[in-house]
Amino acid sequence: MPTLYVVATPIGNLADMTPRAIDTLKSVGLIAAEDTRVTQKLLSVFGISTPMTSCHEHNERSKAERIVARMLAENLDVALTTDAGTPCISDPGSILTEEAVKAGIQVVAVPGPTALAAALSVSGMPVSEFTFYGFLPRARGELKEKLREMRTHSRLAVVHESPHRVVDLLDAMGELFPHTQVSASCDLTKKHECTLRGSVAQVLDALRANPKADKGEYCLVLRWGDEDAIPAARQECQVSLEGRLLEKMFQGLSLREAMEALTGAGERKNAVYAAGLAVKQWLGERE
C-alpha cells in the first residue's frame, strides 16, 4: 500500500529543514506541491530531483482524485508540501489527505515548522488552551461579526493575517475589545523576525510607526480582556441562522447577500444553505 507523506518545510529559515523531510522528499516518487516554482527553489538547495505536480487551492479537488488514483495504480509514494510550513493548516492539502484516507492509503506526518506553534511559543501568554481561526474575513462588517463570535467561544485565539490587512484587523479589534492583549509575530524564523506584544492600542501604534510593517506575514495571538463585555444585543450565537438571515435582510441585504455574509463569518455553508431555504419558503408563504 502506498503512503502519502505530509511534509513540513521551512517558513523562512532553511536551517529548519529536517533531515527526515529531506530524506522523504528524495525517496518518494512524486511531490504534490502548492507552487512547483517555489518548491523547486527548496529542492535545488538540498539536491532533490524528485518529479513534482501542482496541488493548490484552485485545482486540489480534481488533482486529489487523480493523485490518489495514480498512487493506487502504481503503488506510488507521494509527498505533500506547501510553499512554507505545514500543509493543511491555512494551506492546501486537506482535500488530498482526506481522499487518501478514504482510499485506505496510509497518511504519515513529517512534522516541522509551523507559524502557529512558533507564534504561540513566543507570545508570553498561557497557551494550554487556544482556538485557531486562520485568516479572518476581509470586509469590515464581516470581520467585526467574526471577532464578536470568537470572543464568545475562545479565551485565547490565534489568527493569520497579511501585512496589508493587519492594521485594519487591530483597528477593528480596538473598537470592539480594546483590552485584548496581543502578540503579533512577523517574519518568524527569518533574519528580521519581530514580535510585538502589548495591548491592541500599543501594538497598533507600533505597527503604524514602522514603515516596514507591511512586509511579511503575521501570526497573532489574542488574549481577550475580561473588562471587554460582550454586548448582549450582539450575542448572535443565541439566535438561529434563520433569524440572523432575516435580520440582515431587514438591514437591506438580499437573501443571497445575507447568506454570503454568514458563510464569510464562519458559519457552515450547508447549514446556511438550509436556513436560506427555510427563510425563502417562509417568505413565499407570507406573500
Q: Is position 158 within any domain?
A: yes
DSSP 86: -
Q: Is position 233 within any domain?
A: no
pLDDT, position 233: 40
pLDDT, position 251: 82
Does residue 7 sit in the same domain as residue 86? yes
Least confident of 110-124, 162-176, 272-286: 272-286
Does residue 101 sit in the same domain as residue 131? no
Whole-angstrom distance, CA of residue 132 vs CA of residue 144: 17
Whole-angstrom distance, CA of residue 120 vs CA of residue 158: 8
pLDDT, position 287: 47
Sign of CA dihedral 191, 88, 8, 147: positive
Does residue 7 sit in the same domain as residue 99? yes
- CATH of residue 188's domain is 3.30.950.10
pLDDT, position 237: 45
pLDDT at position 276 over 70: yes
Asked which of 113, 147, 176 is the last residue of a domain, the reply is: 113
Does residue 109 sit in the same domain as residue 156? no
Average pLDDT of the segment spanning 270-277: 90
Q: Is position 197 within any domain?
A: yes
Q: Is position 231 within any domain?
A: no
* pLDDT above 70 as % of the chain: 95
pLDDT, position 252: 84
Q: How confident is the model at residue 73 (pLDDT cuts 50, 70, 90)?
A: very high
Q: How confident is the model at residue 271 (pLDDT cuts 50, 70, 90)?
A: confident
- Structure-model confidence comparison of residues 18 and 237, the more confident one: 18
pLDDT, position 279: 87
Asked which of 179, 199, 223 is the last residue of a domain, the reply is: 223
Whole-angstrom distance, CA of residue 50 vs CA of residue 267: 40
pLDDT, position 238: 54
Asked which of 113, 132, 151 is the last residue of a domain, the reply is: 113
Q: Is position 228 within any domain?
A: no
Average pLDDT of the segment spanning 132-149: 93
pLDDT, position 232: 45
Does residue 134 sit in the same domain as residue 186? yes
pLDDT, position 125: 96
**pTM of the prediction?**
0.76
Q: Is position 234 within any domain?
A: no
Number of domains in the chain: 3
User: In terms of Cα–Cα distance, which of 79, 78, 81, 58 is closest to 11?
Assistant: 81
Domain range enclosing 271 = 239-286
Q: Is 228 helix (H, G, I), strand (E, B) or coil?
A: coil
Q: The C-alpha cell of 181 is what? A: 492583549
Q: What is the pLDDT of residues 229-270, one digit of tens each?
A: 555 444 444 578 888 888 888 888 899 988 988 887 778 888
pLDDT at position 185 over 60: yes
Does residue 94 sit in the same domain as residue 122? no
pLDDT, position 32: 98
Does residue 33 sit in the same domain as residue 100? yes
